[in-house]
Amino acid sequence: MITIFHKNTCSTSRKVLDILKNSEKEYKIIEYMKTPPTADDIRSLVKKLNIPAEKLVRKKETLYKEKYADKNLTEEQYIEIMAQHPELIERPILVKGNKAVIGRPVEIVAEWLG
């Protein structure tokens, strides 16, 4: 079972969802703006992605630029701001078991799905 953390207004996320639909793999959709992940969920994602939390943050978002760009944040602070502001989470994220990938660029998704 593959889980996709999806934002319907994101064209990349919609493209990745289309790839999943055409893959014949089982999947479930988490619309993370409607059902935001907790800090524990984000910690788990970061671990499965094998990246620092900072790499999961959308730094081009206005909210990030206005409130956080000039701060030296810790791993835990990055996790907390993503839990408080899910719009700052990079997307889409695909999870299968203990592995995850950020579906950008879209081309990596087909390879990741195997």
According to DSSP H, which parts of 1-114 are helical?
11-23, 39-49, 62-67, 75-84, 107-113
Q: Are 45 and 79 in contact (CB under 8 A)?
A: no
Which of 2, 10, 30, 113 is flagged as catalytic? 10
Segment 59-107, tens digit of pLDDT: 999 999 999 999 999 999 999 999 999 999 999 999 999 999 999 999 9
Q: Considering the chain, what is the average pLDDT of its residues?
A: 96
Domain segments of the chain as ranges: 2-113
- Residue recorded with tokens 């094998």: 50
Is 0.75 topped by the overall pTM? yes
| CATH architecture label of 2-113 | 3-Layer(aba) Sandwich (3.40)
Please say if 10 is a catalytic residue: yes
pLDDT tier for residue 110 given thresholds of 50, 70 and 90: confident
